[in-house]
Amino acid sequence: MTILITGATGTIGTQTLKALEREGATALCGVRTPRGEHDVKLDLEDTASLDAALKGVTQLLLITPFVEHFEPLAERALDAAKRAGVSHVVRLSAAGVSPDASFDLARQHGRVEEALKASGLAHTIVRPLFFQDNFVKFQADTIKKDGAFYGASKGGKSAYLSSRDIGRVLAKILVDPAPHAGKTYSLTGPEALSDEQVAEVIGEARGRTVRYVDLPPEQLAAGMRSSGAPDWMVEGIVALEAIKANGWAAEVSPVVKDVLGEEGQRFDAFIAEHVDAFR
């Protein structure tokens, strides 16, 4: 068994590597500049690089970067996986994607899923919902500065999950892919919370009140653009807020518990681990 992970240095790739280590397995890390013992040179824009990196690989975890046009990168990797005779591809996708989705990032994810299904490769598609970690990555600065964070979720609830649990699920699939072949898994956390409830949890943990400020979508978009966010990113984030507002992110999936044999991390436990980021 030889596992290769693209995007191995990102949030989910890193958590998957840690989980594989706990499973007693190792993986090759596809990176542009190899430094570690298990690093292999891989550039998703370079076919020769892909062919070399995939030589002898049996399981591929395909994680594409958060860029405007990732679809060609994924399709190039799938073509290379077919040439290399990869036994199983695990694709990290996203919740609610479709070739007919309302925004481009979701449409690209949907088309990549369709390409994987049509490829003839044994595969599993994993669709995580919104990450608990994103509150540390994207909201901590305004919480520390203003005691508030901003969105347009209109009271809608989301079953946020931790990147650690995503990595654990991916690792389980990679080390024993056969039971998961042909399946599409939607991953969520064990509870759905509104952003107002999220603010209460963070405020209680840090010992100071946190407010959630709900904005009209146009105002949220304008604020992001004024901070330098590109249009494609603004479109995606505003669309994700609409998914929350419409109640589409509130359903709790049993997949994490089914695969891991235990409930995923609850939001308050995650915040307790990372509370210093909000102080």
Question: Residue 172 is part of a domain; what is its CATH number?
Answer: 3.40.50.720
User: Which pLDDT does position 35 carry in this prediction?
Assistant: 87
Residue 175 inside a domain? The answer is: yes
Residue 228 inside a domain? The answer is: no
User: Which pLDDT does position 37 carry in this prediction?
Assistant: 85
pLDDT per residue of the chain (279 residues) written in tens, 0 to 9? 899 999 999 999 999 999 999 999 999 999 999 988 899 999 999 999 999 999 999 999 999 999 999 999 999 999 999 999 999 999 999 998 999 999 999 999 999 999 999 999 999 999 999 999 999 999 999 999 999 999 999 999 999 999 999 999 999 999 999 999 999 999 999 999 999 999 999 999 999 999 999 999 999 999 999 999 999 999 999 999 999 999 999 999 999 999 999 999 999 999 999 999 999
Residue 88 inside a domain? The answer is: yes
Residue 241 inside a domain? The answer is: no
The CA–CA distances, whole Å, from 116 to 27, 62, 75, 76, 216 equal 22, 11, 8, 11, 37
Residue 97 inside a domain? The answer is: yes
Query: Which of 250, 218, 267, 231 lies closest to 96 in space, CA to CA?
Result: 250
Handedness of CA 126, 132, 136, 141 (dihedral sign): positive
Residue 216 inside a domain? The answer is: no
Residue 106 inside a domain? The answer is: yes
The CA–CA distances, whole Å, from 214 to 22, 112, 140, 144, 194 equal 41, 33, 17, 18, 11
User: Which pLDDT does position 194 carry in this prediction?
Assistant: 98
Q: Which residues pair with 255 in a beta bridge?
A: none
The CA–CA distances, whole Å, from 206 to 91, 122, 145, 201, 270 equal 36, 46, 13, 9, 13
Query: Which of 223, 226, 234, 241 lies closest to 68 in space, CA to CA?
Result: 234
User: Which pLDDT does position 188 carry in this prediction?
Assistant: 98
For residue 47, give its domain range. 3-131+161-188+251-264
Query: Which of 262, 93, 108 lies closest to 172 in space, CA to CA?
Result: 262
Report the number of distinct structural domains present in the chain. 1
In angstroms, rounded to a whole number, what is the distance separating the alpha carbons of residues 144 and 152? 20
Locate 66 and state its tokens: 């958060």
In angstroms, rounded to a whole number, what is the distance separating the alpha carbons of residues 61 and 90? 5
Residue 239 inside a domain? The answer is: no
| Prediction pTM value | 0.95
